[in-house]
A and B are shown apart, each in its own frame.
Chain A
C-alpha cells in the first residue's frame, strides 16, 4: 500500500471532519518536508534518513501479548492507572483505569467520539507540521494513543502510567502513537510514558504528545525510554503553559546492550511554551548511552509571557562508542521581561570513543532578563575517586558510586514518588550499586 492509500484508509475511520482536514494538511506538509537528512540544521548530528528502513509500513499491526510483555507488566509497581498499547493499538484487557471524579483517561480513538469538541479544540494545535517532519507524519498517520483530561481544580495523586510496547515482527513497521493531555485551571496530574521494545527485532516508532497546562495547573511528565537498543524512537513533546501554571518533564533514556546489529537512536524534541505570566517549566533529562547508542535531546523553552522561570538540567553518561547530542534553546520574546531562564548540560564520557555534541542556543529579545547556561563534558573527578578508594572502595565500585551520584540528581527532580523510586532502583541496577 502506498503512503497516500494508507492515509485515506485511516481517514475513513475518523468521523470528525476537522481532524480529517488537519491530517490532510499535515500529510501535504510532510510530502514537502520528507525525512530530514543531516544537511538539515536540526538534524545535523542525527542522521535519521539513512537509518530508517526505506519500505516504511505505517499500518498498525496488532499482535499477541508475548512473554516479554507479560513479564514486564508483572514487574511494574502496582500503579492505580495503567494504560497499555501494543504496536500503537490500545489493549483495554491489559489496562486499568479506575473511575475518578473529574478525570477522563481513555484511548484517543475513543475520545474522538466521546469528547469530540474538546479533542477538536486541542488536537494538533501545539505542533508545527509545516516545519516538524515527524510531527507532520504523526499527525497524518496516527492510529491511537492516550487522551487525558483533568477538570478544573481536580488533583490526581496517582501517576497515570502509559506503556507503549513494540512486539511486531515486521521490520518495516513505523508505529505512530500520540497522546493529548488537557489539564484545566487549578488541576494537577502526573503522567509517565514508557516505551519498550518487547520484540527481538529492531523497532521504529514516532510518538507525539501535546500537553495543555491551564491557569495555575500543574503537570509532571516522565518519559521513560529504558531499553532503547535495537530501536529508532522519535519523541515530540509539545506543551503550552498558562498563567501561574507549572510544567515539568523528565526524559530518562537507558540503552541496554544491543542484541543485534540494529541502530539504537533516540531523538527527543521537547518544547515548553510559557504563554501566561508567572508560569514555570522544568525540563530535565538523564541518558545512558552504551555501545553504538545515539541519544539526541533537542529542547526548546519559549518565553512568551513576562515573569516566567525555566530550568533545564540534562545529564548524560556515555560509554562504548555511543554519542549524545544536546541542543538547548531558550527563546525570550520581546514581551517576556523579567524572565529567569537557566540551562545546564553535563556529560560524563566513560570511554575514549564516546562523544557528545552540546549546543546551547539563546535568543533573547527582551532587555530585562536573567539567562544563563553551562555545558560541561568530562570524566569523573579524580579527587573524589581517590577519596573513595582511600576508604577501601575498589576503583570499579567507586566509579559506579560516583556515576550514580551524578545521575541521581536528575531523578531527584521527579515529583512522583513511585516513579522516582522505580527509577532509583533502575539506576542502582544499571550501575550495580547496592545501597
Chain B
C-alpha cells in the first residue's frame, strides 16, 4: 500500500494520543516513563515515518 501524504498525516495524528497516554499505560505496569522518553519515542516514530515515506511514499521509485 502506497504511503501517501494524507495517510502519513493521519498516522502522525493518531500517534499523538498514543504518545500522550503512553505514560499512563506504562503506569499500569508500574513503569514510570519520564516525559523526555515519550518525546524521544514520538521523535523516533516520526523519523521512521519520514524514512518510510522517502522509500515508499508518493513520488519515490519504489512506489512507482
Do chains A and B interact in one complex?
A: no
**Which residues of A are in contact with B by a Cβ distance under 8 Å?**
none
